Chain A
Amino acid sequence: MNINQIQDSIIEDFSMYEDWEDKYEYIIELGKELPEMNEQYKTEENLIKGCQSRVWLHAEEEEGLVKFQADSDAIITKGIIGLLIKIFNNQSAKEISNSDIYFLKEIGLQEHLSPTRANGLVSMVKQIKNYGIAFNLKS
């Protein structure tokens, strides 16, 4: 699936949840299920500092596809990272650099991607795209 197809399927998944609590329970679940980030990548260099929660992001390119690993110290942030990884993992650098992230707004979680939240997610999305641009230039 391409980036937009994945976003659409996430939006569909979330349409089942009526109240905020169910939504957050699902996100927290995603956070718990997020594959462990390789400890060696949890470096100062890969750290995106938000005032509220911290986010680590690492990317590699393999056979034309970008692989992401990420983590956060806050579980809700981590759950949203889980969604972002679903969307961006194994996409081409070009698709990543041209992508538009609209699903958070559609599922009513836009607030987590607000620059004033200082949870590191805005910078994370920016950083994901930067990786896309950089890998795209290299190839």
Chain B
Amino acid sequence: MGTIVSTGWNVQAIREDFPILKTLVHNKPLIYFDNAASTQKPKIVLDTEYHYYTTQYSNIHRGVHYLSQIGTDLYEKTRHTIKNFIGAASEKEIIFTKGTTNSINLLAYSWSSAFLKAGDEILITGMEHHSNIVPWQMACQRHGANLKVIPIQEDGSINIEDVKKLISGKTRLLAFTYVSNALGTINPVKDMIDLAHQAGAHVLLDAAQAIQHIPMNVQDLDCDFLAFSGHKIYGPTGTGILYGKEKLLDAIPPFEGGGDMIKDVKFEHTSFNELPFKFEAGTPNIAGIIALGTAIEYVENIGLDKIYAYEDELLQYGTEQLSQIDSLKIYGQSKHKSSVLSFLLGKAHPYDVGVILDHLGIAIRTGHHCTQPIMDHFCIPGTCRASFAFYNTKEEIDALVSGIRRAAKMLL
């Protein structure tokens, strides 16, 4: 039980790639289990940013000069890398943003202007991150549309029958998360996307918690839009992606106006640049985007399928071990789950558990994880959440378990 079966997986070698994993916290070796909030960066990503700023830096898309050309090429190379990584049909479908939140807000403005009318419905699930709720509430308010919510079941999954019931001819958009950040649930994405399309609705897939764990192909999934953040897939903060089918991105207006997104500016009229630049106003996070390309290449070199297999082992092992702790309850027990363990320890408040684990060098997240509706659903103030990445080990999970037992002794 609990032995690593993945062949050729050398977690120690992988840990060497992440300098921060050698950090001491309160004089103890850092155990980083807050990967769903953000992931650590491999040295090669840090080196890329450093190298870019020290030897290649200038603004892009503007200059004829040498550095501007290099920067533009590197920046566009990331677009190419990401296009291949998610299986998009063309680079025009890859929009650089600041992150998932920014990608969703772009759509909530631009897509809604083109497609959302009074009386229409937008369908989300009960497990969405606030960033896939609030922008749609705001859009519905602007356009007189209604937000509908697919309920979650006791185990944290969705019943496809509920989706069928709630999708109708009024549904214009199904916006939902591939993986729940608070519960780990992996949703039946393909079935949900097909149901939405049968009803004539568009689909936005929030892949913030999936892109770093699950191999995916946007053309196979057939989602119309997909959003994710660079910082959750070992890349820099302030970088993100919005994928959209070309014909839809063509059909919706720009979000922000400014430099780079225009073709021709007159005071009477401005014509917009073509895709993807129409959605990329202003000087972007150039170094971050270039380093995001490196992060994706790093992940591809290891192989997302291998990463998935190893993280699933960690999840199974962690679930087994945590389940043996008296009075510990795991929230989110869906059959299909990603490497997130959300739990409560007896009547102990998550904050107290988090403070004690922190003193043991263990970083977990406590609170509502920006998913207040989930917490309301289970009538709890929040949970403790340990989320694993492929640089974590079973020994670290053992340390978590003994830390929780220590917390239990102090708190219960």
B223 to chain A, nearest CB (A): 32
Cβ 8 A contact of B356, one of A24, A52, A73: A24
User: Is B410 an interface residue when CB atoms closer than 8 A count as contact?
Assistant: yes
Cβ 8 A contact of A51, one of B26, B356, B367: B367
Give A77 to B359 CA distance when docked, in angstroms: 16
Tell me if A20 and B352 are in contact (CB < 8 A). Answer: no
| Residue in A28, A53, A54 with the greatest tally of chain B CB atoms within 10 Å | A53
CB-CB under 8 A from B348, the residues of chain A are 75
Using A52-B366, A73-B381 as known contacts, say yes or no to A21 and B351 having CB atoms under 8 A apart. no
| Residue in A25, A28, A73, A77 with the greatest tally of chain B CB atoms within 10 Å | A73
The digit string for B358-391, where 1 denotes a CB below 8 A from any CB of A, is 0100000011100000000000011000000000
Cβ 8 A contact of A25, one of B351, B355, B410: B410
CB-CB under 8 A from A119, the residues of chain B are 351
Tell me if B355 and A76 are in contact (CB < 8 A). Answer: yes
User: In which size bucket is the chain B interface?
Assistant: 10 to 19
Give A75 to B410 CA distance when docked, in angstroms: 10
User: Is B77 an interface residue when CB atoms closer than 8 A count as contact?
Assistant: no
CB-CB under 8 A from B80, the residues of chain A are none
Give A74 to B367 CA distance when docked, in angstroms: 12
Cβ 8 A contact of B349, one of A20, A24, A25, A74: A74
| Residue in B381, B382, B410 with the greatest tally of chain A CB atoms within 10 Å | B410
Give A118 to B26 CA distance when docked, in angstroms: 21
CB-CB under 8 A from B265, the residues of chain A are none
A65 to chain B, nearest CB (A): 31
Tell me if B359 and A20 are in contact (CB < 8 A). Answer: yes
> 7 tightest A-B contacts by CB?
A74-B349, A74-B351, A53-B351, A52-B351, A76-B352, A20-B359, A74-B352
Could you give 11 example pairs across A and B, Cβ below 8 Å?
Answer: A25-B410, A28-B352, A28-B411, A51-B367, A52-B367, A73-B349, A73-B381, A74-B351, A75-B349, A75-B352, A75-B411
Given contacts A51-B368, A52-B350, A77-B351, 9 further A-B contacts (CB under 8 A): A28-B352, A28-B411, A53-B349, A53-B351, A74-B351, A75-B352, A76-B351, A76-B355, A77-B349
